[in-house]
Chains A and B, each alone.
Chain A
Amino acid sequence: EDQVTQSPEALRLQEGESSSLNCSYTVSGLRGLFWYRQDPGKGPEFLFTLYSAGEEKEKERLKATLTKKESFLHITAPKPEDSATYLCAVQAGTNAGKSTFGDGTTLTVKP
């Protein structure tokens, strides 16, 4: 069974204080690892897809990286508007389309 574990559960940062979120996964045949952002009362919003170890993607203050066992979401100089829950999900094996999600990391950025 595919497993996704995210840490920390919650992260509080000062504006401008860079940090990283972790997503560890155990799957059989990774097809893709996805990062989503979820605001309260809303559906997850897609951020990045990573398909193979060593791959990196970047968008504004966010950068996602992937190894064979984990992914990191690096947040550089965060702003209050980056406050949200960040979800990691994997698609694996022959279960095309089915995504297994982690519990998420709730990020709060204080001005």
Chain B
Amino acid sequence: EPEVTQTPSHQVTQMGQEVILRCVPISNHLYFYWYRQILGQKVEFLVSFYNNEISEKSEIFDDQFSVERPDGSNFTLKIRSTKLEDSAMYFCASNGQPNSPLHFGNGTRLTVT
């Protein structure tokens, strides 16, 4: 069964550094998302992406965050200058159409020191 893959599984970075989290969504999906989950808290929406542009973003997704689909398979989340509070599990998800179930990757655990 096709799956969403994310790399790396764990990323440790120093405060102020830039990080790029990578995702390969399911190949025939058209809608792509990033969610995050701070330890012990709920899964929170960050951004949705369709047709090479952001469809919607949350208040969390400020100017420090950006997304890109650099080629036909990868979907990336960049955090320009990481803060301690960015430490969380970041999940990529995709689906074939809106209002259909999300297919999640297994996440990247980001630790900012």
Contacts and interface: CB of A to CB of B under 8 A. Distances in A.
Given A44-B91, A97-B55, A97-B95, A49 B45 contact: no
Nearest to B46: A98
- Give the 8 A-B residue pairs with the shortest CB-CB distance, closest first: A96-B98, A43-B104, A46-B101, A101-B43, A97-B98, A31-B99, A103-B42, A97-B48
B42 A44 contact: no
B75 interface: no
Interface in B25-59: 31, 33, 35, 41-45, 48, 50, 55-56
A110 to B, nearest CB: 23
25 contacts: A32-B100, A34-B102, A41-B107, A42-B106, A43-B4, A44-B104, A45-B104, A46-B103, A87-B43, A91-B99, A97-B31, A97-B33, A97-B48, A97-B56, A97-B98, A97-B99, A98-B48, A99-B35, A99-B45, A100-B45, A101-B42, A101-B43, A101-B44, A102-B42, A103-B42
Interface string A44-85: 111001000000000000000000000000000000000000
Given A44-B104, A96-B55, A104 B42 contact: yes
Interface in B64-92: 91
DSSP class of B's interface residues: helix, strand, loop or mixed? strand
Contacts of B41: 103
Nearest to A4: B42
Given A44-B43, A99-B102, 20 more contacts: A34-B101, A34-B102, A41-B106, A42-B107, A43-B91, A43-B104, A44-B91, A44-B102, A44-B104, A89-B102, A91-B98, A96-B55, A96-B99, A97-B48, A97-B56, A97-B95, A98-B45, A99-B35, A99-B45, A104-B42
